Structure 1
Amino acid sequence: MIARARAIVKSQKVIVFSSLILLVLFIIMIFAPWLAPHDPTTVNLVHKLQPPSLDYPLGTDHLGRCTLSRILYGARVSLGFATLIFLSALGIGLIIGLIAGFKGGWIDQALMRFADGVMAFPSLLLVLGLVGIWGAGLRQVVLALIFVQWVYYARIIRGVVLSLKEQNYITAAKITGSSQWKIMTKHIIPNVLPPLAVMGTLEMGWAIMHLSSMSFLGLGVQPPTPEWGAMIHEGKSYIRTHPSLMIYPGLMIMLVVITFNLLGESLSERFGIKRR
């Protein structure tokens, strides 16, 4: 058992290393209230813009709030809501992709033409437009990102379903009287999972970047809630005197996005799946 685990680690170093980093980040996200040394929203102007110390390992911001605590709590928003966006978009895309690919005909045409209409707009501009219509706020940004994201999952899943429908074992299942539900759950969905795993890791980085971008523009997370993009926005006024206010959350965004991309690229090579 140990020898097999060592063989897996040796052959899939990038996948294992990326997975361990993400596991640590998700642990931080879950246990942030216990790991943070201070309340991330408590304002104390007496301690504003302090350098790193034992009490404040990463110093404090312009309002005297603990930078480390805000970064730890920021993981709950950045990672947590990015995961929510991914799971919601995946669920919608999976259902629509299965229906479009399996049913075909006018249903397929109607769903895919709507998806083409959404994909015709640059994703960031479409998100900005939707947030402009619905109003600023985290909920509106999350809904806008889900609306933009599901179409990519739907198209990939539809393509996989269309290719699987022509396989002999699907034809045999139909001849033996298997229901459509049984065919989809037993034969189609398991074959869709590998490309979904690759897309999920790649698109998680996309979701975090866009979520942070909206917060940086002041359209997403609103003060005093800690979030990495919002922290960069708050620290931009002090970029010359205290650049660490932008560097620390920026490094966290970079670490998470690069890790997800490395994992996605490694999984795509492992399963032989091309990126869209």
Structure 2
Amino acid sequence: MIAMARATLRGPKIITVCLSILIVLVLVTVFAPWLAPHDPIQVNLANKLQSASFDYPLGTDHLGRCNLSRLLYGARFSLGFAALIFVASLGIGLVVGSIAGYRGGVIDYILMRFCDGVLAFPNLVLILGLVGIFGPGLWQVVLAMMLVQWVYYARMFRGMIMSLKERPFITAAKISGSSERTIILRRMLPNVLPPVAVMGALEMGWAIMDISALSFLGLGIQPPAPEWGAMIHEGKQYIRSHPELMLYPGIMILLVIVTFNLLGEALSERFSVKRRLEKE
């Protein structure tokens, strides 16, 4: 699907289309209370498993809740908390990676050996283990994913900072008497923004996938919260009689992940991030 979309749209067109889709989704998350025709968690067994109608454009689920309303509110959980996980993990990774890359020595060795230890285990396995320790729930999933994800950013930032600190303009800044804080914030960080934009687009898709997967397994966001992965979990017992209960949230997850992946690849080509990283 991604290959077909890339063959149809190229360069700036992909970025424009993907950003348009994401803007619409963000607006949906913001205005969900006004767009949703019904309360997403209100149970009405008299209306359960209804087909699409004027009152319920996408029908109802096994508890009589409006599918459209739950999809709209589900975007808040999937997109909102994926963004929170990315921003928090990125911030921690940026601080740790910058310190390790710029200072080097013992500090770099200790921090990177810790990161190597975390990276030795599969991502999802570690998240499942931490959720098992913390217990199921939304904030437990957010904390577990943050504790695992930041090491990837720390490794990337460390490599870029180590490469940049040997550049002539950094040497000139040191000679001129600029402080370490000024050099890192004003000289180095602007040069790593393109890779961060690419990573943000790609990692958002993975974060949404992990949140949905954990909710599907019953370890993430708990009912009756309208989250897409949890909706798939609740609808699986009706897969033969009412497959739309799984189909609707599945399409939304697919749409968001494909959009972020296409945006990430387009930004990578736009900023020549891959070639830049290979040179460094």
Superposition map of 1:6-155 within 5 A: 12-155=12-155
What is the identity, as a one-letter code, of the residue corresponding to 1:146?
A: M
Structure 1 moving runs of 4+ over 6 Å: none
Q: Which residue of 1 aligns with 2:264?
A: 264
SS at match of 2:273: coil
- Cα deviation, residue 273, structure 1: 1.7
TM-score for the superposition, normalised by structure 2: 0.94
Q: Which residue of 2 aligns with 1:180?
A: 180
Q: Which residue of 2 aligns with 1:190?
A: 190
- Rounded to whole Å, the distance in 1 between the matches of 2:19 and 2:100 is 33
- Rounded to whole Å, the distance in 2 between the matches of 1:178 and 1:193 is 21
Question: Contact 2:11 / 2:270 at 8 angstroms: preserved in 1?
Answer: no
Change (3 A) 1:263 1:62: same
SS at match of 1:192: helix
- Cα deviation, residue 10, structure 1: 8.6
Q: Which residue of 1 aligns with 2:250?
A: 250
Deviations 1:64-97, CA, capped at 9 Å, x for gaps: 0000000000000000000000000010011001
Q: Which residue of 1 aligns with 2:3?
A: none
Question: Contact 2:36 / 2:68 at 8 angstroms: preserved in 1?
Answer: yes
- Rounded to whole Å, the distance in 1 between the matches of 2:203 and 2:13 is 21
SS at match of 2:42: coil
What is the identity, as a one-letter code, of the residue corresponding to 1:128?
A: L
- Rounded to whole Å, the distance in 2 between the matches of 1:223 and 1:68 is 17
What is the identity, as a one-letter code, of the residue corresponding to 2:92?
A: I
What is the identity, as a one-letter code, of the residue corresponding to 1:120?
A: A
Q: How many residues align?
A: 268
- Cα deviation, residue 271, structure 1: 1.3
Q: Which residue of 1 aligns with 2:205?
A: 205
Q: Which residue of 2 aligns with 1:4?
A: none
- Rounded to whole Å, the distance in 1 between the matches of 2:184 and 2:11 is 33
- Rounded to whole Å, the distance in 2 between the matches of 1:154 and 1:30 is 31
What is the identity, as a one-letter code, of the residue corresponding to 1:63?
A: L
- Structure 2 unaligned residues grouped into runs of 5+: 1-8
- Rounded to whole Å, the distance in 1 between the matches of 2:55 and 2:63 is 16
What is the identity, as a one-letter code, of the residue corresponding to 1:259?
A: T
Deviations 1:129-148, CA, capped at 9 Å, x for gaps: 11111111111111111111
Q: Which residue of 2 aligns with 1:238?
A: 238
SS at match of 1:42: coil
Question: Contact 2:101 / 2:158 at 8 angstroms: preserved in 1?
Answer: yes
SS at match of 2:55: coil
SS at match of 1:178: coil
- Rounded to whole Å, the distance in 2 between the matches of 1:84 and 1:254 is 20
- Rounded to whole Å, the distance in 1 between the matches of 2:112 and 2:221 is 32
TM-score for the superposition, normalised by structure 1: 0.95
What is the identity, as a one-letter code, of the residue corresponding to 1:204?
A: M
